[in-house]
């Protein structure tokens, strides 16, 4: 994937992460205290979106946001490791329209729908 594309998705991911964190900070005082504590330790003016999400902070989130934050962090790592946008199941490139909607996805549309079909069969 081209570098400017990667930058674009990185921005989308960071923005999404920031939104989850903002929502958390607005609704949860203890999370706010935690994050402030940690930013003092690292840097005076740490950027919320790029700060590391710690286990403590994760614990204060609901499961949905937890999974989302972890998926976003994993996607950011893949950008750093040049593995972003590749389906973990079949190895082909994930559709750009899909990445645009869900930049933290790890599977292409075909594998995702195969997976859902399988789940359906089990149930
Ligand atoms: Zn695939």
Contact 84, 1 (CB under 8 A): yes
CA 113–ligand 1 middle distance (angstroms)? 9
pLDDT digits (tens, 9 = 90+) for 38-90: 665 554 444 555 566 677 778 888 889 999 999 999 999 999 998 999 999 99
Provide, rounded to the nearest whole percent, the portion of the chain with pLDDT above 70. 85
Q: 28 CA distance to ligand 1 centroid (A)?
A: 38
Structural domain boundaries, residue 27: 3-122
Q: Which residues contact 111 (CB under 8 A, 6 or more apart)?
A: 87, 89, 90
If you count them, how many residues does the chain have? 123
Residue 111 CA from chain centroid, whole number:
20
Q: What sign does the CA torsion over 38, 11, 90, 112 have?
A: positive
**Residue 44: predicted pLDDT:** 46
Output the CA 69–ligand 1 centroid distance in Å: 22
**CATH code for position 44:** 1.20.120.910
CA of 16 to the centre of ligand 1 (A): 24
Distance 94 CA to ligand 1 centre (A): 7
Q: How many angstroms does the Cα of residue 37 sit away from the middle of ligand 1?
A: 41
**Cα–Cα distance, 116 to 123 (Å, whole number):** 11
Sign of CA dihedral 12, 16, 18, 22: positive
Q: How far is the CA of 76 from the centre of ligand 1 (A)?
A: 19
Task: For residues 8-15, give the mean pLDDT.
Answer: 96
Residue 107 CA: distances (Å) to CA of 53, 57, 67, 68, 115: 24, 27, 16, 15, 10
Residue 94: pLDDT band by 50, 70, 90 thresholds?
very high
Question: In terms of Cα–Cα distance, which of 87, 20, 28 is closest to 49?
Answer: 20
Q: How many domains does the chain have?
A: 1
């Amino acid at each position: 994937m081209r570098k400017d594309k990667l930058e674009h998705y990185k921005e989308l991911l960071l923005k999404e992460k920031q939104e989850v964190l903002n929502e958390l900070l607005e609704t949860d005082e203890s999370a706010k205290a935690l994050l402030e504590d940690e930013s003092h330790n690292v840097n005076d003016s740490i950027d919320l979106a790029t700060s590391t999400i710690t286990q403590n902070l994760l614990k204060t989130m609901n499961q949905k946001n937890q999974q989302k934050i972890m998926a976003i962090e994993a996607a950011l790592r893949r950008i750093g490791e040049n593995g972003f946008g590749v389906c973990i199941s079949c190895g082909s490139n994930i559709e750009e329209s899909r990445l645009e909607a869900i930049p933290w996805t790890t599977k292409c549309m075909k594998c995702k729908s195969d997976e859902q079909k399988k789940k359906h069969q089990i149930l």
